[in-house]
Structures are given as C-alpha cells and as structure tokens.
Amino acid sequence: MDKHILLTLVLCWIGCEKQADTLVHQGYALGTSYGVQYAPIDHSYDTVQQGIDSLFYVINASLSTYLPASAISQINQGDSLVIVDKHFQRVYVQADKVWKATKGYFDPTIGAWVNAYGFGPDKALTNISKLQRDSLMQITGWDKIHLTPDHRIRKEKPEIYIDFNALAKGYAVDVIADYLIQLGSQNHLVEIGGEVVAKGNSPKSGKAWKIGIDKPNETGERSLQSIVALSNQALATSGNYRKFRLDELTGDKYVHSINPLSGIPVRSKVLSVSVKAPNCMMADAYATALMVMPFDESKALIESNNRLAAYWILSSDGGQLEEVFSSRW
C-alpha cells in the first residue's frame, strides 16, 4: 500500500524565514517536503536549521531504502554484520509492537507484494499465480526477522526486504520535535510529508494548531474534508484513494490493500484513515495498519487502546463519502 500526503496544513507556510511571531523552516527531505514552525527561542535560525539538517542526515543513513549505503539498504542486500543505530532500533521496536497489536496486519516486509501486484495509479491489478504467492510468502513476515542483543538484524531468509516507510517519516517528525524541545521550544509544529506533531499552541492565534484533512479526490485537486485542532499530540493520515477502482455495476469506490497474512489484495471501502497518538511514529504505523485491517477489527482495535483515536473516511453506497469517528477523536 502506498502512502500519500493526505494532510493539508491550515497554516501560512511562506517563502521567508521569519514572521513577526513565528520562525519557519521549509525544505525537502526523506523524499518529501517538510515544514517546521515555532515561536522564537534563544537559538539562532541558522543553528536550528543546522540541527534539522543533521538529524535528517543520520536518519537517512539509517533508514532510507533509497540510499544504497544506508544501514537498511545494506541489510536488505544481505549484509548480516551491520550494527544498527538507536534510530533503527527505536523504529524496529515500534514496528514490532504494532505488528503484534494488529495481529500481523501491519508488516514492514510486505514490499515485495506491492511490486508483484503492480500497484499504481494507472495500472491494472496484476494477477499472480498461487506458486508466485507461495514463493512470496516465504520472504514475508515480520516474525522472520530478529534484532539481536548485539544490535544486528538476523533474517530467516536473505531475500526478506524490510521497508520502514510506514514509520520513518513519523519517527523523523518526533526526533525533530524533541530537538526543538531540547532547545527550549514550547510552541511548535513539525510536519514531514503530511505527518504532524503539534506542541503547545500556534504563536499567531494563541490557540491549538489547526490541521486540515484532505477530502478523498481521485483527480488530485485539494479540498478539505475536515479541520482538526491539535495540541501536544501527533496526527498521521494514510490512504490510497487515488488508486481506487470503480464498480461499474454499483458505482461504489473501492481501494485494494494487500493482506500481509495471505498476500491477497482485498477490496475496501476505507478511503483514508487519520490517527491521533502521543507520538507521530505510532500514529504513522497505525494509520497504515488501519487501511489494511477489516474495518470492524480496526475500529475495535482503536477503541481498545486509550492512547489512540481515529477518523475514517469511507465510500458508502453509490460512492458517497461517509465519516466514522472513534469515541476519543
């Protein structure tokens, strides 16, 4: 399942670096855009930017599947001697927790299936044979990899491919937000590719930060479905509604998500899911998992965890949109 930037920040990201009451950093990292806003602190703008750049550098060196020399790329290439750093370890531990909580519906080893089925906005869903599925199942499964006491990754099959895309952006948001706190910031917002951590209040309004959630729209035009007030929380949204298929008989919209437990794509009326959590890595992972889980199971999971809240946008009869909120949303 591909992850899309489904959040629109209802903020004034502008080209200049300083406003009367807010400092702004913007750029491109981790394959997407990022933005940081905060009330002035006792550190120079350049110092903060250098810190942000340094954090992106070390996170990329650990977790980026696009850099051949990164730790995760070397592991995926079969190097079993790589000693992973604290960033990799933290993401691994969170992935393990969410894998267990979702009973395997969240699985960072699913990437081979995405490629095999040819998921894409303009591609038909490719049928693969039972023999191919059986082969792919041999190299799929979070329980087939292990973090050893000496901080190495042991894989039961060398071909197993690990992809932390469903957590890495959220984790980077948390790391940068923690960095700002260390510098003395009490009011800031960090956003990477639509994943957000909000601390305190907006310096402009003195109220909670306002975050917009996109209306599912296959044309790519941006419009808001909902606006969320966020303070001292993280928010992440996942969806693949730009890749939905239309049932010609009923007019219903469906997205296809791969069930990592079976390797079989399932039709779902869930177009997007937004999750609030204490940290963005957790929100990011659960938002991904809830797109794959059967809706009733996903709702029960969220209700059972008092640290989480969720908001679903579904395609109802005739393709109309339906909103569902968990009790803590």
Across the chain, mean pLDDT equals 87
Confidence of residue 129 (pLDDT cuts 50, 70, 90): confident
User: Lowest-pLDDT range, 100-114, 118-132, 283-297?
Assistant: 118-132
User: Lowest-pLDDT range, 13-17, 59-63, 127-131?
Assistant: 13-17
Q: State which fold the 1-231 domain adopts.
A: T-fold (3.10.520)
Residue 96 has pLDDT above 70, yes or no: yes
- pLDDT at 252 (0 to 100): 57
Backbone angles phi, psi at 199, to 5 degrees: -115, 130
For residues 5 and 282, which has the higher predicted lDDT (pLDDT)? 282
What is the average per-residue pLDDT within 54-80?
A: 95
Residue 251 has pLDDT above 70, yes or no: no
Which letter, b or e, does each residue of 64-83 get, where b requires 16 or more Cβ atoms within 10 Å of its Cβ? bbeeeebbbbbbbeeeeebe
- pLDDT at 150 (0 to 100): 97
Confidence of residue 6 (pLDDT cuts 50, 70, 90): very low
- pLDDT at 133 (0 to 100): 87
Q: In whole angstroms, give the CA distance from residue 94 to residue 307.
A: 14
For residues 257 and 172, which has the higher predicted lDDT (pLDDT)? 172
- pLDDT at 82 (0 to 100): 97
Domain ranges of the chain: 1-231
* AA identity, residue 315: S
For residues 276 and 319, which has the higher predicted lDDT (pLDDT)? 276
Report pTM.
Answer: 0.88
